[in-house]
Chain A
Amino acid sequence: MEALSVHQVNKVYNKTVQALQDITFDIQEGELFGLVGPDGAGKSTLFNILTTLLLPDSGNIRILGLDLINDYKQVRQEIGYLPGTFSLYPDLSVKENLDFFAVMYKSDIEQNMDIIRPIWKQIEPFSKRKAGKLSGGMKQKLALCCALIHRPKILFLDEPTTGVDPVSRKEFWEILQTIRTQGITVLVSTPYMDEATLCDRIALIQNGKILEINTPADIMKQFRGCLYTFRSEDIFSLLNALKECPLKCNYYPYGEYCHIAFYEDMEKAMPTFIQFLDERKQEHGEIKPIQPSIEDCFIEIVKMNRHE
């Protein structure tokens, strides 16, 4: 059964900014669904709509069989929301925040302890500390406890790991996996591509449009080009030179490396490419073929969409 079904949702800000355009997707019960896209893609707008904070201009949304717009009061009881910015009371203690939100949802901490116990155990030693004085990772854990205390059926997390250190990020995703095993459907947005592979399915979103919905594995299989990488001492001049490359290709910097995807027959194209680089006097390291990462796939999908 679908836990969430979004159909043709549109949202325009100030009559000119198309924040969301024909958003349509379904999330199955128990799924860990990722919404991946750069800043400004419309992720937060979509979250605000799904969590009943914002009305869409048009479109149909059903959450657990309830109509989001008409039954928003029931919907609020069934969903949990972790906003993108820390939004608990910094001057209340950890325990007071949890108590407060438990009552807001008319829920009982003791009864629902089982669902938050793995997370709560980590922050319990600090239960008397003010929430504002916690570290970033701890804050997120507390916020997660507060969002889960009423045993929601769907949990929405808006960029939960933005600004969190790599170790805490990893921990956080482990927690998400355990939440899933408790039968809670999770919709999480992230700008980090590496996190996307941890989801069951992901939707790539850009400029308010969903470009692709698939499992991370299938998205990676769909990569159409032949991807190569090589090191360059002067990435800037290399990228400039590549503008005039006669081959059908798509290139972008990747740290000190350059990633380049060719849409050619490589046996013929590679000598041409090396010759091109030499003519332009571009120093380069060994040109090696690599497996595309989810990020490469995302860049390809975005480029393809732009050309269409």
Chain B
Amino acid sequence: MRTILILIKKEFLQVFRNPLLLSILIVAPMVQFMIFPFCADYEIKVLDIVFIDHDHSSVTQDIIHNFNASDIFVSHGVIDNKKEANKMLKHDKVDIIIEFPNNFEQDLLSGEATRLAITANAINTTKAGIGVGYTQEIIGGYMQEFQERHAHYDPDKIPATLNLSYIYWYNEQMNYKNLIVPGILVILVTLIGCYVTALNLVREKEIGTIEQINVTPIRRWQFLIGKMIPFWILGMAEFILGLVIMKIVFGITVQGSIPMLLGITAIYLFVMLGLGFFISSVSENQLQAMFIVLFLFIVFVLLSGLFTPTEGMPKWAHYINYANPMSFYMEVIKKVVLKGSAFISVQRETIILTVMAVIVNTGAILSYQEKSK
């Protein structure tokens, strides 16, 4: 017990004497929280639009008016020249072109099939997708209105319109900060758990202190526990700091049970600590460890569903994700923080993370033992 205590004490002494590490621990979460959520934002605030009107009818005027009346669309006028419109699209002046064909109104009234062309700049796929969605909504809305107004003409001849409407649940304003901020929390915990631990242990290898420790009668597991507890505490402190920033700066409160969230975070941290140890035992120096962590980290983040929803990934990516602790933890964070889910809905993730913690740590102890004896 005394042995483990002095190991923990030693670790904290070293952490608090390492100004670089300390500032990383404190400044990194601040910076990530302050900058990232404001930049990594998929919310579309402005869509630039231009109209090509070959019809010049009251219907097209009404539709253009509807677009102008919306908050999102900024009209760049009505022009006749298609070439010029394409040029505007090419030079990023507009995001969407809407082209009304000749006899648009007449065809509409007589029930003839008519086409309305929407051209969107798909360089930014999110913007294009959402832009087209909004466009359809406005046109669809107008069509319904149009149908009702002209119902006395000949209902059979008027093309039926579909009323599409979206409600974004759990993130009602489709506010991406609500998704990104908890995601950053996940990144933070992962970084502390895996990165800092791996580097710390490899450093002991580099400066040779591990040899000096290995000739003492101390047991392997004592040494590993003495390493784990300090970084586990740091990770939890970092997580709590993250929750506080989340509340103060973004006003996001944890909807679910906080003790349960802390409990699952504790388990996830053990997975990451074990991974850090494993990486440190297979690498010779901090540089190697850094590369391995970086590689895993990028794979974990990209597959975790922070930037792109996991549902849209191909099947093989799903299979890889079964080995990605971050994706399970991300799921837990999203469910507990945003939805306020009860334990029953994160039970599966918790069990998987626990199993992972056991496997990874067993592997770490074994590989460590193999190398040192």
Q: Using a CB–CB distance below 8 Å, which chain A residues touch chain B?
A: 51-53, 55, 73, 76-77, 79, 81, 83, 85-92, 96, 99-101, 103-106, 146
Among B13, B209, B211, B215: residue with most chain A CB under 10 A? B215
Give the Cβ gap from A138 to chain B, nearest Cβ, in Å. 17
Residues of B within 8 A of A146 (CB): 212
Q: How distant is the Cα of A220 from the Cα of B57 in the complex, in angstroms?
A: 117
**Minimum CB distance partner of A84 in chain B:** B208
Chain B 180-214 interface mask (CB, 8 Å, partner A; 1/0): 00000000000000000000000000011101111
Partner among A87, A88, A92, A101 whose Cβ is within 8 Å of the Cβ of B216: A101
**Minimum CB distance partner of B223 in chain A:** A104
* Stretch binding the partner chain, chosen from B2-10, B87-95, B346-354: B2-10
Q: Is A73 a contact partner of B207 (Cβ separation < 8 A)?
A: no
Chain B 306-349 interface mask (CB, 8 Å, partner A; 1/0): 00000000000000000000000000000000000000000000
Q: Is B212 a contact partner of A106 (Cβ separation < 8 A)?
A: no
Cβ of B373 under 8 Å from chain A: yes
Q: Is A104 a contact partner of B213 (Cβ separation < 8 A)?
A: yes
Q: Is A79 a contact partner of B209 (Cβ separation < 8 A)?
A: no
Q: Is A83 a contact partner of B212 (Cβ separation < 8 A)?
A: yes
Q: Is A55 a contact partner of B373 (Cβ separation < 8 A)?
A: yes
> Shortest 10 CB-CB distances between A and B: which pairs?
A87-B208, A104-B216, A103-B6, A76-B217, A81-B215, A87-B212, A77-B217, A51-B215, A91-B17, A87-B209
- Name the interface residues of B1-57: CB closer than 8 Å to any CB of A: 2-3, 6, 10, 13-14, 17-18
Residues of A within 8 A of B14 (CB): 89, 91-92
Residues of A within 8 A of B215 (CB): 51-53, 76, 79, 81
Q: How distant is the Cα of A85 from the Cα of B209 in the complex, in angstroms?
A: 10
Cβ of B218 under 8 Å from chain A: yes
Give the Cβ gap from A220 to chain B, nearest Cβ, in Å. 34
Q: How distant is the Cα of A89 from the Cα of B13 in the complex, in angstroms?
A: 11
Q: How distant is the Cα of A103 from the Cα of B372 in the complex, in angstroms?
A: 21
Q: How distant is the Cα of A73 from the Cα of B215 in the complex, in angstroms?
A: 9
Residues of B within 8 A of A52 (CB): 214-215
Q: How distant is the Cα of A52 from the Cα of B214 in the complex, in angstroms?
A: 8
Residues of B within 8 A of A88 (CB): 209, 212
Residues of A within 8 A of B212 (CB): 81, 83, 87-88, 101, 146
Partner among A53, A89, A106 whose Cβ is within 8 Å of the Cβ of B3: A106
Residues of A within 8 A of B13 (CB): 91-92, 96
17 contacts between A and B (CB under 8 A): A52-B215, A53-B215, A55-B373, A73-B217, A81-B215, A85-B208, A87-B207, A88-B212, A90-B207, A91-B18, A92-B13, A96-B13, A104-B6, A104-B216, A105-B216, A106-B217, A146-B212
Residues of A within 8 A of B207 (CB): 87, 89-90
Q: How distant is the Cα of A90 from the Cα of B209 in the complex, in angstroms?
A: 10
The contact size tier of chain B is 20 to 34
> With A92-B13, A92-B14 given, is the CB distance from A53 to B214 under 8 Å?
yes
Given contacts A81-B215, A100-B6, 14 further A-B contacts (CB under 8 A): A52-B214, A53-B211, A76-B215, A81-B212, A83-B212, A87-B207, A87-B211, A87-B212, A89-B10, A91-B13, A101-B212, A104-B213, A106-B3, A146-B212
Give the Cβ gap from B171 to chain A, nearest Cβ, in Å. 45
Q: Is B2 a contact partner of A103 (Cβ separation < 8 A)?
A: yes
Residues of A within 8 A of B211 (CB): 53, 83, 87
Residues of B within 8 A of A81 (CB): 212, 215
Give the Cβ gap from B74 to chain A, nearest Cβ, in Å. 58
Q: How distant is the Cα of A299 from the Cα of B37 in the complex, in angstroms?
A: 71
Residues of A within 8 A of B18 (CB): 91
**Minimum CB distance partner of A69 in chain B:** B373
Give the Cβ gap from B214 to chain A, nearest Cβ, in Å. 6
Q: How distant is the Cα of A296 from the Cα of B219 in the complex, in angstroms?
A: 46
Partner among B6, B208, B217, B372 whose Cβ is within 8 Å of the Cβ of A86: B208
**Minimum CB distance partner of A92 in chain B:** B13
Give the Cβ gap from B22 to chain A, nearest Cβ, in Å. 12
**Minimum CB distance partner of A55 in chain B:** B373
Q: How distant is the Cα of A105 from the Cα of B215 in the complex, in angstroms?
A: 10
Give the Cβ gap from A79 to chain B, nearest Cβ, in Å. 7
- Name the interface residues of B210-254: CB closer than 8 Å to any CB of A: 211-218
Q: Is B6 a contact partner of A99 (Cβ separation < 8 A)?
A: yes
Q: Is A96 a contact partner of B208 (Cβ separation < 8 A)?
A: no
Give the Cβ gap from A182 to chain B, nearest Cβ, in Å. 20
Q: How distant is the Cα of A51 from the Cα of B213 in the complex, in angstroms?
A: 11
